[in-house]
Amino acid sequence: MTKTTRVILAQRPTGLPDEATWGREVVELPPPGDGEFLVKVDHISLDPAMRGWLNDVRSYLPPVQIGEVMRAAATGTVVESNHPDFAVGDAVTGMFGVTEHAVTDGTDVRVIDTSIAGPATWLGALGTTGLTAYHGLHEVGEIKAGETVLISAAAGAVGSVAGQVAKAHGCTVIGIAGGPEKCAWLEEIGFDATIDYKNDNVLRRLREVAPKGIDVFFDNVGGEILNAALANLRRGARVVICGAISTYNDERLPPGPSRYMSLLVFRARMQGFLVFDYPDKDAAAIAELAEMMASGRLVARETVVEGRVEDFGRTLLGLFEGTNTGKLVLKIA
């Protein structure tokens, strides 16, 4: 038996999650059965989508139920195994949850090569984060060399990868981020122009840096940022809806985009997607992202917070406060 501490959903939040949202429990895990293995978790991914998983509404995944371990992707090491495909000592990644240890049958678990990149990067640029950026640009955005690509939350986990992927494929890339430090970092990693939404008039600045309009908008924010982008489309533009972090903690449904008729005027389309939509393309995408990292065309950046599983709730708030640059990860001490 293995004693483990884990974080559960104690009650559904209204607005931002707070201390009352989470509970802590210590349990004894049974030894792994046939076809199972035990993982010691070392890094936990923090993602904006987690806020949506707390709401009791119909979505692409069932909501986390009261009393359940909080859903989360994580990395760890196999410490006991009765599974033929996973050996003791293997580094792995999977949806293990906010916990110190997990027993799994290997469903949707992958072995990772930590000689290529550390565990945090396998949750970021070489994990679901990188795949989200890659598939969103290629499968929905259908990017082409010479096009102008605009990315919101560009200094975040998905946005920073998306911008570098678009740049590597010959696009002009504009990033929207909060604050001069984040904008300066985006320019360091190859963005052609930046917009500081905290200090710039986004619509005016966008027309300055993209006077002919944008071909692809990769949106992670929604709200007024989405409206500004819709006002500056080119004919045939594609708007990729990846997320809308500006609205996730709203207690009422936000108003829809007021400039949606731009889709008609510019014969454009707006489409949402999920990273899970393209499983047959994952391996090739990860291989290209890894090659980009090795060649220096992709800079993976993580904000790693060291602590315990009990620090999950406090760390999660950083996503909505804008404290992270790149991928936000909780490292379990």
Say yes or no to pLDDT of 265 above 90.
Answer: yes
pLDDT of residue 185: 97
239 located within any domain: yes
pLDDT digits (tens, 9 = 90+) for 138-158: 999 999 999 999 999 999 999
Q: How far is CA 112 from CA 79, 122, 331, in A?
A: 15, 7, 17
How many domains does the chain contain in total?
Answer: 2
295 located within any domain: no
* Shared domain check, 244 and 157: yes
Identify the CA nearest to 292 among candidates 283, 301, 304, 300. Answer: 300
* Alpha-carbon span 275 to 269, nearest angstrom: 19
* Shared domain check, 266 and 207: yes
Say yes or no to pLDDT of 251 above 80.
Answer: no
pLDDT digits (tens, 9 = 90+) for 6-38: 999 999 999 999 999 999 999 999 999 999 999
Residue 83 belongs to domain spanning: 2-118+301-332
% the chain with pLDDT above 90: 94
Element housing 135 (H / E):
helix 128-135
* Alpha-carbon span 180 to 182, nearest angstrom: 6
pLDDT digits (tens, 9 = 90+) for 71-126: 999 999 999 999 999 999 999 999 999 999 999 999 999 999 999 999 999 999 99
Q: Where are the beta strands (DSSP E) in the chain?
A: 2-9, 22-29, 37-46, 74-81, 91-94, 101-104, 110-111, 148-151, 172-177, 193-196, 214-219, 233-241, 269-272, 302-307, 327-332
284 located within any domain: no
* Shared domain check, 219 and 160: yes
230 located within any domain: yes
* Shared domain check, 169 and 53: no
320 located within any domain: yes
* Shared domain check, 184 and 72: no
At 233, give phi and psi (nearest 5°): -80, 160
